[in-house]
Structure 1
Amino acid sequence: MKRLLMNVGLLQIFMALLIVIMVMFVSNYIVHKNSISEVYDEVAQNNALVVKTMIQSIDNSFRSLDSMNHSIHSLPYNNIVNSDGSLDMAKVYDLQKNVTALVSKADFIEDIIVFHDNSNLAITLHGTTDLGELFEQKYVHSIYNAAYWKRFMSMPHESKVFPADTYKVMNSGTTWQKKKLLIMVGGNKFRLSDKHIMFLISAEKWMKFVDQTAIIPGASFIVLDSNRNVILSTNDDFDLVEVWNQLTSNFNSEGTITGKDFEYNFYKSTYNGFMYINKIPYKFKNINSVSSANLTIMITAIIGAVTLSYLLSMYLYRPIRNIIQQLGLETSKGNDIRNIHKAIRMLQSENGKLGEELEVEHAQNRKAAFLRLIDEYADPSESEQLIRKYFPEISKKQQFIMVLIQLLPKEEAESNERIRVEKLESCIAAGLKRESIEALLFHADKLQFVAWIGMDQPSTRRTLFKQLRAYIAAAGNNELSRYEVGACVSSMYSTDEVHWKRAFQDVNHGMSHRSVSNDEPVMDAEQIRYTYNMYYPLDKMEKLSNYVLCGRLEDAVQIIEDTFEANNKRNIHMHQMVHVAQAMFYDLFRMIGNPSLEQAEWSKLEGDFLRSISRANRYTEMKQALIKVAAFLAKQCKSEPTNKLNPAFIAQYIELHYMENLYLDYIAEVFHTSPKYFSSYFKKTFDINYVDYLNKVRLAHARELLKHTSYSVTEIGEKTGYLNASTFATTFKKYYGISPSEYRKRQTG
């Protein structure tokens, strides 16, 4: 009986310990399942937000392409074939330059091909070539060749996007590379011009542009045109048959279909009727293996705990202690306890990591929500829900101000290691907090950061300017010493969701429209005064190019400085000064011609210049960048052997010697040729006879002297190469319809 009672007591202790361990097991299992489910739900919601952002980016890219297509059709360069059958290369060159300028910011465009009805000349971003050679030697495809495109473009058709397909593309004229390209062509049922325009879009760059990598792991994305033809898919095995028949006929803008292992989310574009399908798994990719491993760990832990409970129960009874010693279970006991402890530690660590992932996902969701709230193309109906879900703390504020903070790398810090955007965002947030500025701060684009600051009353806006100036002064001497720091402050708005976009437009436009003469680090968007009084000396650009060709760098620099200073006095906007600098750069190259620069040298020179002026915080930095280019070209032209019988040298010589007696025999002798050949060459090259060209150069200088000097008409005639005042007056009236004296009165009166 005693032995039985002993066994019953042993069983009671064992069962009590077993119940405790089972409760622990069930609790941990529930926590494990709920944690995994919560992470998945949070990521699935984020995925839906990311997909909508991707679709918005794709629609925006199609808007940009349609706008470019219309802009190219609107360019006044139709009928490039002259009456004698030759090509008007001036039109071709201007068309190519304008097309290149239109697409300079669209990185996903591989190339643009423009050709006309009556010509096989193809105009691309990289130059001009024969249409047949372009598709035989540059973009090779077994179906989509030059004959196909000529035939397709000749037939009436709507605007169409051809599906992504693999092309053999020649790189730098030496190597072939396979690239996946989409081709978009505009419709021709209502012709805007005689141009045919093809956009070649890199599928890889396009997906990077819309940030396809941000969607949930294991998901796929497919794009269908308005006729439900597949134009792009991230998964070649994507089978539409299994879900297409389930899509109801009354599908409007969004829909969801549930499959066996996947969920299919359908979205219809409100812009062009395209359909987007996002295929996502019910669970994370590889989550089953992770869950199985976690479950195995917990089962192993419970088995060890049960064994330990049994051994511990036996050990509590002295009559059976000798049995435990005989079985040698003392060592096993210690190992089981360590195994249980190890399993618990692993579960705690795993739950901690899941919590950190939730925090990261929440931060990413807040940023995505903020960017959608300030995106002018985003659906406004979502704004109130996004604010309530991700920014509940702003409900305490009645008004707000938005601040755009921009960082521009200093030239001396260019070569140093770049600071990550996340670290810059953290530094800015900490600096604002030190100045008692409580703000929601998010990275917007490149080195621009947007701060949302709640306001209690209008007077605090003036205080904010003082705080921002103090912050920028301190940041420039500490953590952000590598950058020029500037800020623009919006007007004050109520916290209604409709005002977020307007406030962001305030600071965005304010930053780009700041005056070139304004060195204030903190700008007030309310104080921006718009002006369009730009100064661009078309009549001096030829002089600038001639001075560079002749190596007269000081005179060239003077023209550049005069132009920039004139615009500074007019208080034009910073982005307008960028356009002035770009125009002078390209006009300089156009008039000089090709100074024997290799493609790589030209690309580097152009890239360095454009990068310098885009990063410039002051107009003087743009001026120095252009002077640097002029010095480089002057040195390049000076080192080249002079070929006298070329257009640039002839124009340069006439510009520098127009005041001399440049009769035809004399000028022909200068260029070591006969008068007859020189006259024919000049007419063919410049599309104007020599005498008319010389008179136009002389009279252009005469007009400047009439406007800006007090010389008499006779003196001006002598200074511009005319033998007497009568010849000067007669020639002037022939070209301008009035006498020199009348012209002076109109200009000065």
Structure 2
Amino acid sequence: MTPIHRLMASRGLLQIFFALLLVIVIMFVSNYIVYKNSISGIYDKVTQNNRLVIKNIIQSFDSSFAAVNNLIFTVHGLPYDLESEDKSMDMSKAYTLQEHISRLASSIDYVEDVIVFYDSLDLAVTSKGTSDFSVLFDKKYKHDTYSANYWRMFSDSKHALTVFPIADFAVSTDGLTRRTQQLMTVMDGNKVRLSNKNVMVLLNAERLLKQIDLKSMIPGASLVVLDANRNVVLSTDQTQDPSDILDEVYFNPAKEATLTRKDFEYNFYKSDYNDFIYINKVPYQFQNIGSVETANHMIMISAIISAVLLSALLSVYLYRPVKDILKLLGGGHVKGNDFRKIYSGIVKVQAENESLRTQMDFADKELRRGIFLQMLDGYAYSRELEMQLQKNYAFFFPERQFVMTAIQFKIPSDGDSQPGMPVADIAGMLEDQLREAGPAIVFYTGHLQFVALVAIRQPSARKAVIECLENLTRRAAKEELQGLALWASVSKLYDSKMTNCQEAYQDIQKARIYRNINSERAVVDLESIRYVSHIHFPFEKIEKLSNTLLSGKTEDAKHILQDIVHENTERGIHHHQFAHIAKSIFYYLMKHAETSHVGSKESFQLEMAFCLQVDNAYSYRDITDALQAVVEWIGSKRLQEGKSKLNPEFITQYIELHYMENLYLDHMAEVLNTSPKYFSNYFKKAFGVGYVDYLNKVRLSHAREFLKHSELSVAEIGEKTGYLNASTFTTTFKKYYGISPSEFRKKPVG
């Protein structure tokens, strides 16, 4: 056979060989194009992503500064003025102010401390206690520049709200040891005084920057933050001086600008919130670009040589398998092991494609869920979010109007019951049920709560949504979700706009806290709620409740509590109002019924459990049960005391709390579960003085304070300290002090 005939007989082999050579040529050309363009293309993509990262960082800074500004505004609004005309100071107000500041500061993770001080007082009230202003900055927060005198001088000058750069403070918590801590100081403005307070907020720089996440910037980049007066607040590059480049920048209407200088590109951004300027310095090109080019050359040469050799070998090896694949595609009898390998590979690819399709569907659902949750959060609004929403607008808003509803499942108090299906299946079930009223999408927001967006074509369809939810609550407990209670709320009707989602979400939250406590309906319509202001909070009954518990009469105390609950349910007050009443009763009982046998840790645990139960209550019965449990707990502690009541500590505590009442001998004997005669003898033996004399001394000591430090009349003071009339008060006062109350008031304070 001639060489030409042999070549024609092997034309299949040649076709494979030349096909592989064509692939080599295409690969070489593609590699060359990649070589010429990949570096710049990758760099452009990376810098574009870096801009998005910087905008997210700016948004995080704005959210943080907004939270601090709101905190300062709230502190100014606290109604506790420690300054008075006579320059005296009410420490009880200071302690109350400190408690409020502590609760406010604990709500923001990166707030280290909040300091309130006054121009004419040396006292500083912080979230961690009270202190002398000079001692606070000389001992606890020590800095060579930011001393107590510096802050006094700065507070006396006219200034706007000022953010000081991060600085190293020597912080001491015990007065003995010090540790270096980076703090950022925010001082409130005084050009327009909101109150006579000066408010400082110390921010923990480590926690703040951890929340901001500066590490997500492109490697080699840096960030400088300037305030509105172009003072440096934060810099990740201490060698960079922004003053020499700021004058060359002109911000466009989008408050952005770019400047290229040497090997770096400077991107400027101005915040919409507080006009802070952010300078992002990024490398103009990747570093070590020469080594990248050399490596790319070597890769291209190696790839060409390897591909030529590989094409020759594969052309021989693949000739028969290719024929088998052609038989597979075209039909016919197939033999050989190669076919099974190729076929199994095809099956595997198909399975992987199906798995990838499932993952893509899941990712698409999660993306839409993330967009929806961001629509509910006003602080998360951004231009990128609006672009994503435009792509999915028809999915969220198929009609011109919508209502939003929250569907909350409640696990019984025993905690044994759980949903009979995953939350994803529950969301699908809810969507199917709500589609009876209109197109609906349901998202899971956590803690067994689902939020649904129901499209409305006609305003009358809103009623159908409510009816659908009521039917759902009746069916859910009998079918798949057996054992779980269901509660739902419905917003007002809104036009299909992204911004309206935030307001609709606030509606369904308000529906829960403003629902009437005597309502038995599981579906709350916000439009049907009417505001109720006449709550029932009887101070005399609560005082009686405390005294009854103090006397060990738990059942009587529970009846009094039931009367208060019944009266409020009759008035139909709101759920959040009743929760406030319950917490007020709790703190009053804990204040007046606390005994020496109850440790602070046990009281703290009781308070935490009670507040958690009240905050998560679904009906007034849950709150009532929590109050009843507290009454029983205090009552049990009183019963455990038993005969321990008959001790000097308890007697003095009781007299000090109730000296203004009619503390007859019989009443004290009843409280102490003994006879009047035994109590009288025990008191004289324990205190060395008669009960009446002791009671008069306690009352008169308080009367002296009222005479010197109040404008009350003598008759009012006598009544306030437990005397039936002014004559008895005057006679008793003169008996013990030798002068009348009026003469005592006229005497100068010694």
- Given candidates 112, 115, 120, the residue that maps to 2:114 is 112
Secondary structure at the counterpart of residue 227 of structure 1: coil
Which amino acid in the other structure matches residue 83 of structure 2?
N
Partners of 2:597 and 2:84 in 1: how far apart? 28
CA contact (8 A) 1:165 1:180 kept: yes
Give how far 1:242 is off.
10
Partners of 1:343 and 1:647 in 2: how far apart? 86
Which amino acid in the other structure matches residue 166 of structure 2?
A
CA contact (8 A) 1:81 1:88 kept: no
Aligned twin of 1:19: 22
Using the TM superposition, name which of 97-106 and 605-614 deviates more.
97-106
CA contact (8 A) 1:108 1:205 kept: yes
Give how far 1:71 is off.
0.7
Indicate whether 1:680 and 2:701 are aligned: yes
CA contact (8 A) 1:410 1:482 kept: yes
TM-score (norm. length: structure 1): 0.70
Deviations 1:528-577 (A, max 9, x none): 21222222223444444444444443444344333333222221222222
Structure 2 spans left out of the alignment, 5+ residues? 320-338, 669-682, 732-750
Which amino acid in the other structure matches residue 272 of structure 1?
N
Partners of 2:573 and 2:90 in 1: how far apart? 36
Secondary structure at the counterpart of residue 612 of structure 2: helix
Question: What does 1:228-377 correspond to in 2, within 5 Å?
Answer: 228-232=230-234, 235=236, 239=240, 241=242, 244-245=245-246, 248-250=249-251, 254-257=255-258, 266-276=268-278, 306-311=308-313, 366-376=368-378
CA contact (8 A) 2:409 2:449 kept: yes
Question: What does 1:144-155 correspond to in 2, within 5 Å?
Answer: 144-155=146-157
TM-score (norm. length: structure 2): 0.69
- Given candidates 122, 125, 138, the residue that maps to 2:124 is 122
Give how far 1:480 is off.
6.5
Which amino acid in the other structure matches residue 404 of structure 1?
A
Give how far 1:430 is off.
1.9
Deviations 1:277-315 (A, max 9, x none): 667899999xxx999999999998876654343135578
Question: What does 1:593-632 correspond to in 2, within 5 Å?
Answer: 600-632=601-633
Secondary structure at the counterpart of residue 158 of structure 1: coil
Indicate whether 1:581 and 2:582 are aligned: yes
CA contact (8 A) 1:113 1:124 kept: yes
Give how far 1:89 is off.
2.5
CA contact (8 A) 2:542 2:585 kept: yes
CA contact (8 A) 2:434 2:465 kept: no
Alignment identity in percent?
33
Partners of 1:213 and 1:561 in 2: how far apart? 56
Aligned twin of 1:525: 526
CA contact (8 A) 2:54 2:217 kept: no
- Given candidates 418, 428, 433, the residue that maps to 1:430 is 428
Partners of 2:483 and 2:268 in 1: how far apart? 47
CA contact (8 A) 1:553 1:631 kept: yes
Partners of 1:481 and 1:454 in 2: how far apart? 29
Secondary structure at the counterpart of residue 561 of structure 1: helix
Which amino acid in the other structure matches residue 116 of structure 1?
Y
Aligned twin of 1:652: 658
1:112–1:500 Cα change, 3 Å? same
Which amino acid in the other structure matches residue 719 of structure 2?
N
CA contact (8 A) 2:258 2:266 kept: yes
Indicate whether 1:71 and 2:77 are aligned: yes
Question: What does 1:39-50 correspond to in 2, within 5 Å?
Answer: 47=53, 50=56
Partners of 1:652 and 1:199 in 2: how far apart? 42
Give how far 1:346 is off.
13
- Given candidates 38, 54, 59, the residue that maps to 2:60 is 54
Aligned twin of 1:488: 489
Structure 1 spans left out of the alignment, 5+ residues? 318-336, 700-719, 728-749
Indicate whether 1:670 and 2:691 are aligned: yes
Indicate whether 1:643 and 2:645 are aligned: no
Secondary structure at the counterpart of residue 18 of structure 1: helix
Deviations 1:111-134 (A, max 9, x none): 322233333333233433333444
Partners of 1:603 and 1:595 in 2: how far apart? 14
Partners of 2:284 and 2:568 in 1: how far apart? 61
Which amino acid in the other structure matches residue 690 of structure 2?
E
Partners of 1:509 and 1:193 in 2: how far apart? 31
Deviations 1:332-388 (A, max 9, x none): xxxxx9999999999999999999998777656544543454445676998875532
Using the TM superposition, name which of 348-357 and 179-188 deviates more.
348-357
Question: What does 1:124-139 correspond to in 2, within 5 Å?
Answer: 124-135=126-137, 138-139=140-141
Partners of 2:63 and 2:269 in 1: how far apart? 14
1:118–1:399 Cα change, 3 Å? closer
1:469–1:206 Cα change, 3 Å? farther
Secondary structure at the counterpart of residue 508 of structure 2: helix
Partners of 1:406 and 1:30 in 2: how far apart? 57
Secondary structure at the counterpart of residue 256 of structure 2: strand
Aligned twin of 2:680: none
1:628–1:571 Cα change, 3 Å? same
Partners of 2:664 and 2:73 in 1: how far apart? 46
1:601–1:379 Cα change, 3 Å? same
Aligned twin of 2:405: 403
1:200–1:428 Cα change, 3 Å? farther
1:642–1:117 Cα change, 3 Å? farther
Give how far 1:241 is off.
4.0
Partners of 1:353 and 1:693 in 2: how far apart? 84
Secondary structure at the counterpart of residue 524 of structure 2: strand
Partners of 1:166 and 1:474 in 2: how far apart? 62
Give how far 1:661 is off.
11
1:569–1:395 Cα change, 3 Å? closer
CA contact (8 A) 1:254 1:265 kept: no
Which amino acid in the other structure matches residue 461 of structure 1?
R
CA contact (8 A) 1:491 1:506 kept: yes
Give how far 1:672 is off.
7.3
Give how far 1:510 is off.
1.9
CA contact (8 A) 1:516 1:571 kept: yes
Partners of 1:338 and 1:246 in 2: how far apart? 72
Secondary structure at the counterpart of residue 533 of structure 2: coil
Using the TM superposition, name which of 7-16 and 28-37 deviates more.
28-37
CA contact (8 A) 2:112 2:202 kept: yes
Secondary structure at the counterpart of residue 690 of structure 2: helix
Indicate whether 1:695 and 2:698 are aligned: no
Partners of 2:461 and 2:295 in 1: how far apart? 57
Using the TM superposition, name which of 571-580 and 669-678 deviates more.
669-678
Aligned twin of 1:329: none
CA contact (8 A) 1:243 1:257 kept: no
1:674–1:486 Cα change, 3 Å? closer
Which amino acid in the other structure matches residue 18 of structure 1?
L
Secondary structure at the counterpart of residue 430 of structure 1: helix
Using the TM superposition, name which of 455-464 and 673-682 deviates more.
673-682
Deviations 1:151-180 (A, max 9, x none): 433444332223334445566999977654
Deviations 1:565-618 (A, max 9, x none): 322222122222222223333344455679586665454333323222111111
Partners of 1:172 and 1:566 in 2: how far apart? 51
Which amino acid in the other structure matches residue 123 of structure 1?
V
Give how far 1:698 is off.
6.7
1:524–1:315 Cα change, 3 Å? closer
Deviations 1:70-124 (A, max 9, x none): 313xx142326966x5x42232233334444555644443332223333333323
Secondary structure at the counterpart of residue 469 of structure 1: helix
Secondary structure at the counterpart of residue 441 of structure 1: strand
Using the TM superposition, name which of 155-164 and 8-17 deviates more.
8-17
1:300–1:513 Cα change, 3 Å? farther
Which amino acid in the other structure matches residue 17 of structure 2?
F
1:105–1:36 Cα change, 3 Å? same
Secondary structure at the counterpart of residue 535 of structure 1: coil
